[in-house]
Structures are given as structure tokens and as C-alpha cells.
Amino acid sequence: MTTDHKTVIVTGGAGFIGSAVCRLLVESGRYTVINLDALTYAGNLASLKAVEDSPNYHFSETNICDAGAIERLLKKYQPDYIMHLAAESHVDRSIDGPSAFVETNVVGTVRLLSAATDYWRLLEGEKKRDFRFHHVSTDEVFGDLPFDSGIFTEETAYKPSSPYSASKAASDHFVMAWYHTYGLPVVMSNCSNNYGPYHFPEKLIPLVILNALDEKTLPVYGKGENVRDWLFVNDHARALEQIMSRGRIGESYNVGGNSEQTNLQVVEKICESLDQKHPRKNGQKYSDLIAFVTDRPGHDRRYAIDATKIKTELGWEPSVTFEAGLSDTIDWYLANAWWWKPLREAKYSGDRLGAIKS
């Protein structure tokens, strides 16, 4: 693998994880990034403000289901890598309307794979040898684990529980089918729950932070016992760059934060931090705003990632503890109302219980 400057198409680059990847790659100076995003409700170009004027960053408002547009962009930019993050990703939205998840996550991925294969077949020499299609997926494809035992490895059988995770499982299978059938050089990764700056306000951590600041109820599903492994988004972006550039073709890598927390623990830690950083005017604790609500259908009990493979092969491991990352995240939301307030007012109701993705 050469160390020359590379061109990367990042699909879904205006989303939470995608924007973190774009910022990392552009700011490294080693890549030209083409951000390809359809700008659905969760896409936000304000998340790319830090790099939008960089000469090695370009944006195209394109839907991955538009095969013709994808083909034209591949021909125009001649990428060395494609990192595929574009997806519908909200579990509760998938329960309300699964068809959109099939269209984007399955059909869109297949169209992108087809276009990438046609493009790759025409490449020559080193450009063809080094090309990678990196598909970014989720640990939710594995189903759930008992509260007290087990961990997801790259060999864990798929057992999705929601329309969202089923659509991502299907896309994973299509990616590997393209590798085995057509020889497309693919790498794949499955990550645990991400958190950090620029996280869309419907997801658990930003929802709780912003509801608390607005003195609104902090809704928690069931008894708050469901467990997730939390991964700071900037750590994840570093992992994705390593997998894209150095991962073994045909292999998948699990990426986790080694930070298992129950949903209730997450909410309580946010409340405790806000009590110190931004006390309530009435002198009460933010935890007084917590309210337990009816659990959602098919709510997986626990996810836990074994990230041994990526550490052993690529030398990656998380650098941020959950406590430090959460503190930094809260500080960011306190300081950046310019980013989240328009989303909160225009696209989203803070009382929507469907907002709690965990």
C-alpha cells in the first residue's frame, strides 16, 4: 500500500459519524474527500463548517439510490477508496416505517456496489490493486446478549431484532457477496454505539443533554437496564481510516469503546455532570427530570464488542474513556447552540419518545 495522497468518496458524510470521518481525513492532509450525501433529516452541512473551504474537500448532494449519479461521480473523481456510511439508522423510525430502510440500506447499497464494481474493473495497475470499498455497519446486526455474559466477535452469527438492524444485516451480506462473487475488494466494520459532538438531537445522549437544558422530561425506556458499549465518535473515525487504508480485504473488524453502560447509568451521569457544569435555576438536581416510559418493541438487552482483532492487526484502540468523552460532549453542546438549536426548532420535537435510540 502506497502512502501517496488518496481520494476518498465518503457516503453519508453529512451525518454524525460521516462528518467526523470527513473532518479527520481532510484535516490530516493525506486525503481529498468527496462527501456524498442526500441531506435527509439527519444530514447537516453545518457539521462540516471546519473543512468546507478546504481545497481537498468537495460536497455532492447525491442519493446512493441514484445509480447514474454515482457512476458520474466515480468517473469524475476517480477515487482510491469508497467509505460507505450512508444509511437510515434510527431504530424507532424503522419500526414506524421500515420501507425507507430497505430502500436506502439495502437497495442503495446494492446500487453503490454495482457502480463501484464497474468502476474498479476499469482501473489499472497500482490504482486497481489498492482500491477498497469499506462498508460501515453496526453491532446491532448481531442481535442481543444476556446481561451477564457474552461478547460480539467478528464470528458472531447475525440475529437482527429490528427492521433497522435487519436492513443493515442484509447490506452486510450483499457486500460480502460482491466480494466472493465479483472479487470487489471490500473491507467491513461493525461498531458499537457512538457519541460525541455533532450528534443529531434525537439520539439518547444529545436528547438527554438538551431536554435537561430545556427543563423537559428525560424519558428512559423500561427500567433503563439495557446495556450498550459506548464509542467516542472521533475514536471511531480513527478506526475507520485505519480499516479503510490497512484492513485486510474480505475481512470485517469490530470497533468498540470498551465502555459498557446501562441506559440509566448514561442518563444519570449526564445529570451529574450538568449539575456541576450548568446547575438548574431552581436548585434541584437534573435527575429529578428522569421518567421511565414503556419499553419499545424488540429492544435488545445488551451489546458488547470484542475489539481484539482491530487492536492486534491495526494497532487501534479507544483513546477516550466514557467519562472523559461524555464530559467533552456535554461541554460541546453547552458551547454550540448555533449548531443544535436550528435542528431542535425546525426538525425535531424534544418530547418525541421515538428519539431515544440506544
- Predicted local confidence at residue 320, as pLDDT: 95
Looking at residue 240, its amino acid is L
Catalytic residue among 139, 172, 235, 306: 139
Q: What mean pLDDT comes out for the span 168-195?
A: 98
Q: Is residue 140 annotated as part of the catalytic site, yes or no? A: yes
Region 193-203: what's the mean pLDDT?
A: 94
pLDDT score of 88 = 84
pLDDT-wise least confident of 119-123, 293-297, 303-307: 293-297
Q: Residue 238: is its pLDDT beyond 60?
A: yes
Beta bridge partners of 228: 261
Closest CA to 231 of 85, 329, 96: 329
- Model confidence pLDDT, tens digit, residues 45-87: 999 999 999 999 999 999 999 999 999 999 999 999 999 999 9
Amino acid 289: pLDDT: 97
Q: Is 96 a catalytic residue?
A: no
Q: Is 119 exposed, middle or buried (0-12, 13-18, 19+ CB in 10 A)?
A: buried
| 345 catalytic per annotation | no
- Three-state secondary-structure class, residue 295: coil
pLDDT at 3 over 80: no
Torsion of CA 92, 93, 98, 103, to 10 degrees: -140
Say if residue 341's pLDDT is above 90.
Answer: yes
For range 111-121, the mean pLDDT: 98
Domains of the chain: 6-199+231-258+303-319 (3.40.50.720)
Give the three cell numbers for residue 263: 441506559
Mean pLDDT check: name the lowest of 10-14, 176-180, 276-280, 341-345. Answer: 341-345
H or E segment at 137?
A: strand 132-138
Which residue, 42, 28, 73, 64, is CA-closest to 237? 28
In the prediction, which pLDDT does 1 show? Answer: 40
- Catalytic-labelled residue, pool 31, 81, 164, 253: 164
Q: What is the pTM of this model?
A: 0.93
Whether residue 266 has pLDDT greater than 50? yes
Catalytic, out of 140, 229, 241, 306: 140
